[in-house]
Structure 1
Amino acid sequence: MLHDPWLARWLPQLKDSAGTRPVLEIGCGTGADTATLADAGFAVVAFDLSAGSAAATRLRVPSAQVHCQDVRAPFPLGTGEAGAVIASLSLHYFAWTETLDLVRRIRDTLQPGGLFLCRLNSVEDRHFGAAGHPAIEPNYYLVDGQPKRFFDERSTAELFASGWQLLSMEHQTTRKYVRQKALWEVVARRGDVL
């Protein structure tokens, strides 16, 4: 895996949003983004489903509070406690109704006006399963035995249609995993419930 400094350009907005409140990181992996956040002075509460990844993050970023848990379990921060939430390529394992519910739960975890930064698999992500796999539902496939969702512009916008102010939604590519990966990068602010 290569270094992927995607968060750097968003740090000023995160600082304005979070203030002294903690940042919740969903799916921290081995802690690359956790380290970026901690180095920028944020109090980070992170979690990952993988015990090995959570342990690696604890070693890499001792100042972070790191949990090993499923994203479907209650978050380690309660309603309105997070200044910001980060989820880089970690929200794509679920049926559409579960995905919508997950984004609603993230919104509820944010303080009013808090920021949510996420990256989502694109339907153009051919190297990582967006084509040639059995469909479970539209743009949701069984990829090497693992359910995996891919997002187009419409479905990405639909995730943030209620209760959010969409600040940025860009289609991008990265070489985080050596081969080119296509994704959507989204920044949204918690707004009033519509």
Structure 2
Amino acid sequence: MLKDPWLDRWLPLAVERAQDRPVLEIGCGQGDDTATLARAGLNVIAFDLSRAAVAVARVRVPSAAIECRDIREPLPAQAQDLGVVVASLSLHYFAWKETVAIVQRVRHALRPGGLLLCRLISTEDRNFGAQGHPEIEQNFFLVDGEPKRFFDEESIALLFAEGWRRLSLEHFVTRKYVKSKAVWEVVLEKDA
């Protein structure tokens, strides 16, 4: 994997909004973004479904509280009244109803004015399954045996229609992986 500094430009805002509260990272993987957040002086609580990834992330970022957890389960106990939640490429494994429920739980964990910094796989992503796979529901496919959701601007607007104020929505191609990946970068603020 290559360096993917997507979070760097949002760090000043994340530091400002976090205040004295931890930052919650959903789907931390091996800790790339966890390390970025910790280097900025933020207290990070993070989780991922993969035990192997969590083990690597714990070694890379010993200052962070990292655990193995499924996002469909309740959030960690300390994930309350947060100023910042980060979810990079971790909200795309679920049916629409589950995705909406996850986003509502995240919103509930944020204080008014809290930020959600997230990246979502684009429907324009051709290298990682946005075409040529059995469709489960609209923009949700069975890719090599795994469910994977892809987002367009309309579905993002629908997902974050209630209780959010959009600060930024941009389409990018990341070169973090061997093949390029098309993603939406979305920054939202919880309404008061």
Query: TM above 0.5, one fold?
Result: yes
Rounded to whole Å, the distance in 1 between the matches of 2:24 and 2:79 is 12
Question: How much does 1:77 deviate?
Answer: 4.0
Rounded to whole Å, the distance in 2 between the matches of 1:79 and 1:34 is 16
Q: Match for residue 17 of structure 2?
A: 17
| 1:80-111 CA-partner distances (Å, limit 9, x unpaired) | 43220000000000011110111110000111
| 1:125-154 CA-partner distances (Å, limit 9, x unpaired) | 000000000000000000000000000110
Aligned-residue Cα RMSD (Å) equals: 1.0
Rounded to whole Å, the distance in 1 between the matches of 2:81 and 2:38 is 18
The gaps in structure 1 that reach 5 residues or longer are none
Rounded to whole Å, the distance in 1 between the matches of 2:77 and 2:182 is 30
Question: How much does 1:78 deviate?
Answer: 5.1
Rounded to whole Å, the distance in 2 between the matches of 1:101 and 1:171 is 24
Q: Could you state the TM-score of these two structures normalised by the residue count of structure 1?
A: 0.97
Q: Match for residue 175 of structure 1?
A: 175
| 1:29-84 CA-partner distances (Å, limit 9, x unpaired) | 00010000000000000000000111111100000000101001111145643220
Q: Match for residue 120 of structure 2?
A: 120
Instruction: Judge conservation of contact 2:27–2:88 (CA < 8 Å) in 1.
Output: yes
Q: SS at 1:33's partner residue?
A: helix
Q: Which runs of 4+ in 1 moved over 2 A?
A: 77-81
Identity of aligned residues (%): 62
Rounded to whole Å, the distance in 1 between the matches of 2:186 and 2:137 is 23
Question: How much does 1:158 deviate?
Answer: 1.1
In structure 2, what residue type is equivalent to 1:178? V
The gaps in structure 2 that reach 5 residues or longer are none
In structure 2, what residue type is equivalent to 1:73? E
Say yes or no: does 1:154 pair with 2:154: yes
Q: Provide the aligned length of Structure 1 versus Structure 2.
A: 192
Instruction: Judge conservation of contact 2:24–2:79 (CA < 8 Å) in 1.
Output: no
Instruction: Judge conservation of contact 1:22–1:81 (CA < 8 Å) in 2.
Output: no
Rounded to whole Å, the distance in 1 between the matches of 2:41 and 2:116 is 18
Say yes or no: does 1:184 pair with 2:184: yes
Q: SS at 1:173's partner residue?
A: strand
Q: Match for residue 91 of structure 1?
A: 91
Rounded to whole Å, the distance in 2 between the matches of 1:25 and 1:81 is 14
In structure 2, what residue type is equivalent to 1:124? E
